[in-house]
Amino acid sequence: MAAGDHFYEVGQGHGLPHDPLLAIIAPRPIAWISSVSATGQANLAPYSYFNVVSNRPPIISFSSVGWKDSIANISETGEFVINMVSRDLLPTMNRTSATFASGIDEAAVAGVEMEASNLVAPRRVAGTPAALECRLLTMVPVCDLRNEPAGCHVVLGQVVGVHIARSCLREGRYDPVAARIVARCGYRGDYVQVQELFELVRPAAP
């Protein structure tokens, strides 16, 4: 990086009006996670510390900052669904991110229509561009450089079933532009919508 860049050592503070880190690591896809507790209590909440870690077999990760209802349910039952979020569903998704008591089903409160999944018990959001039915592989409590608990857990899950809305398929390909996919971006309340797709094919070995 050129001299004159704004550099900060994290331990010394960023020196800016707001923490830039999550604006730098953006856009982040949103996993709108539906889960159910051992007693059958349904839950729905968004997680943007989310990505794919392997495609064969398909394995995804997300991180829960704090022990929240989603991770508690997944630790009890080992199943969850990742519902992808379109622009149309964004306001509803946002409503489900409020802190509700654990006995509350966010989907019911936010008026989210749910439908049965094929392979797992948690229901999935109706009308999403895509939904991934997952089974828990592992949950890793994360520690920092001093070996102190970082207060978060990374969850790894294997995708066992995939739903794709037919309206999001273009000539047999899933099209994130047609899906109007949104991602978390920047500071509090910032999002971006996928609007342009271009192709750049990876080169063959020289």
Ligand X SMILES: Cc1cc2nc3c(=O)[nH]c(=O)nc-3n(C[C@H](O)[C@H](O)[C@H](O)COP(=O)(O)O)c2cc1C
- Interface residues with ligand X (CB under 6 A) are 30, 43, 45-49, 63-66, 68-70, 94, 97, 99, 184
Nearer to ligand X, 87 or 169 (CB): 87
In the complex, what is the shortest distance from the CB of residue 131 to ligand X, in angstroms, rounded to a whole number? 17
| Chain-centroid distance, C-alpha 149 | 22
C-beta separation of 100 from 106 below 8 A? yes
In the complex, what is the shortest distance from the CB of residue 94 to ligand X, in angstroms, rounded to a whole number? 6
Nearer to ligand X, 23 or 65 (CB): 65
Nearer to ligand X, 15 or 40 (CB): 40
In the complex, what is the shortest distance from the CB of residue 55 to ligand X, in angstroms, rounded to a whole number? 21
In the complex, what is the shortest distance from the CB of residue 203 to ligand X, in angstroms, rounded to a whole number? 34
Which pairs with CB-CB distance under 8 Å and at least 24 residues apart come from 165-169? 165/127, 165/128, 165/129, 165/130, 168/129, 168/130
In the complex, what is the shortest distance from the CB of residue 69 to ligand X, in angstroms, rounded to a whole number? 3
Nearer to ligand X, 31 or 168 (CB): 31
Nearer to ligand X, 64 or 117 (CB): 64
Q: How many CB atoms lie within 10 A of CB 104?
A: 15
Residues 46-71 as b/e (b if ≥16 CB within 10 A, e otherwise) read: bbbbbeeeeeeeeebbbbbeeebbbb
Residues 117-134 as b/e (b if ≥16 CB within 10 A, e otherwise) read: beebbbbbbeebbbbbbb
